[in-house]
Amino acid sequence: MSLKSFVRELREMKDGIGSISKRGEEGSRHWRNQTMSHIAPDQVPSSSELIQQGRWANLPPELLLDIIRRVEQSETSWPARSVVVSCASVCRSWRAITKEIIRTPEQCGRLTFPISLKQPGPRESPFQFFIRRDRATSTYLLYFGMVPSEVKKDKLLLAAKRVRRAAGTDFIISLAADDFSRASSTYVGKLRSNFLGTKFSIYDSQPPCDPAAQQNSRSSRRFRSKQVSPRVPAFNYCVGTISYELNVLRTRGPRRMQCIMQTIPVSSIQEGGTAPTPTSFTYSIDDHLSTMSDSMRKGSAKDFSPKILSEPAVQDLDESLVLKNKAPRWHEQLQCWCLNFRGRVTVASVKNFQLVAAVDQSHNVSVEEQEKVILQFGKIGKDNFTMDYHYPLSAFQAFAICLSSFDTKPACE
């Protein structure tokens, strides 16, 4: 059987030649639904979910490894890369080998599983995505691709819904565009603002990779642990803060912002530095509880309300990566502030921004690294925006930062 015929058979396979788990069948329906993420759920079946191995699982490991490696190398972009996801959905042995072959976005510059959205982006060429805003439903959809396509069959990566509160605004971030329940397995995090819309907190549904950063992050319980499946994460971990500078004098110019990424050390942008890279989603509530301090655990036993369980610990800001606006220049002929977006932004807007690292000389960061644009966001249409990001940010973190630009900020303009 040739490689092309093998790939064709994988694409046509609906339920699989072998027996596929119930979770895999649900994932297949999600791929066919345009409102769902086109990236397969990266979930490990529990011991209660029995997966019967079919005759496809009896292939010699060396042959299977060679086949999947060739498929992975030939299908580098979406939607063709869905064939790689199909390989991981055949059975447990196929999934193990596929996950062994798949590398992180930092290493290969590709997205495959949902955990890729929580991993740092590539160091060289940035990921280029776009965001579509739906004013009627207050939703924001992140798609894979440089610009929206005419047929509107773009690959959905993340979705967010704005929810008004008395004290501010929440942006609930999910893998699905039709399920924003915080008790769902598609929930990945949220962005919360203060009353004025000048300060935002980024919350992740899973704990940081670094135990020290995890202890210093603010955590909140979202619901009673007995009300949901044990495979659904039960906490929100504060992984970053965004601050917009007040424009008291009402001067003209773009918004000024600063982002403190509490879980990304400044050493990640130094020569030879690395950023925290999660390898899988955390689904067990027990895993969350085991990583928390004893004091926090005692507090959670007394009260399961949605309030913050502990006050945020003050983290050493010298060790956290800080991002700031790249200073624009005033264009005399156009009579406006300008930034070089390299053709990715076509409409002038106060929402447009570029972020670079804010470091001092003691951090030993090269000038080239200091001038590199880590994240840029800009308008290309009435409800369409572009989002390009680099290492060490992940797609989830970059999307959360861009969402803060959509909130109303009368005190900053």
Residue 53 pLDDT greater than 70, yes or no: no
Domain boundary among 102, 134, 167: 102
Say whether both 258 and 338 belong to one domain. yes
Same domain? For 358 and 259 the reply is yes
What is the pTM (predicted TM-score) of this model?
A: 0.77
Which residues have CB under 8 Å from 146's CB, separation 6+? 128, 130, 344, 386
Among 331, 358, 326, 362, smallest CA distance to 341 is for: 326
Residue 393: Cβ-neighbour burial (10 angstroms; 0-12, 13-18, 19+)? buried
Q: What is the CATH number of the domain that holds 378?
A: 3.20.90.10
Query: Would you place residue 104 in the very low, low, confident or very high pLDDT band (cuts 50, 70, 90)?
Result: very high
Give Cα separations from 181 to 132, 140, 170, 172, 279 (angstroms).
21, 15, 13, 8, 24
Mean pLDDT of 254-271: 89
Please check whether residue 308 lies inside any domain of the structure: no
- Please indicate, yes or no, whether residues 172 and 86 belong to a single structural domain of this protein: no
Mutual angle of helices 61-74 and 3-12, in 10-degree steps: 80
Residues 73 and 198 in one domain: no
Interval 41-63 mean pLDDT: 60
Q: Which residue has the higher pLDDT, 225 or 173?
A: 173
DSSP string covering 235-251: EEEEEEEEEE---TT--
What are the beta bridge partners of residue 159? Answer: 141, 174
- 55 or 143, greater pLDDT: 143
- Would 302 be classed as within a structural domain? no
Are 257 and 127 in a shared domain?
Answer: yes
Q: Which of 102, 137, 156 is the last residue before a domain boundary?
A: 102
153, 76: one domain: no
Domain boundary among 102, 133, 165: 102
* pLDDT, greater one: 388 or 28: 388
Instruction: Give the pLDDT of residue 175.
Output: 94
Residue bearing tokens 């971030």: 173
Statement to judge: residues 79 and 136 lie in one domain: no
Asked if residue 292 has pLDDT above 50, the reply is: no
Alpha-carbon span 353 to 405, nearest angstrom: 9
| pLDDT band of 393, cuts 50, 70, 90 | very high
Q: Based on the fold, state whether residues 255 and 326 are members of the same structural domain.
A: yes
**Are 142 and 199 found together in one domain?**
yes
Number of domains in the chain: 2
Looking at the structure, do residues 98 and 179 belong to the same domain, yes or no? no
86, 201: one domain: no
Same domain for 139 and 93: no
Burial class (CB in 10 A: 0-12, 13-18, 19+), 361: exposed
Instruction: Extract the tokens encoding 350.
Output: 């106060």
**Residue 94 sits in which domain range?**
56-102
Q: Is residue 301 in a domain?
A: no
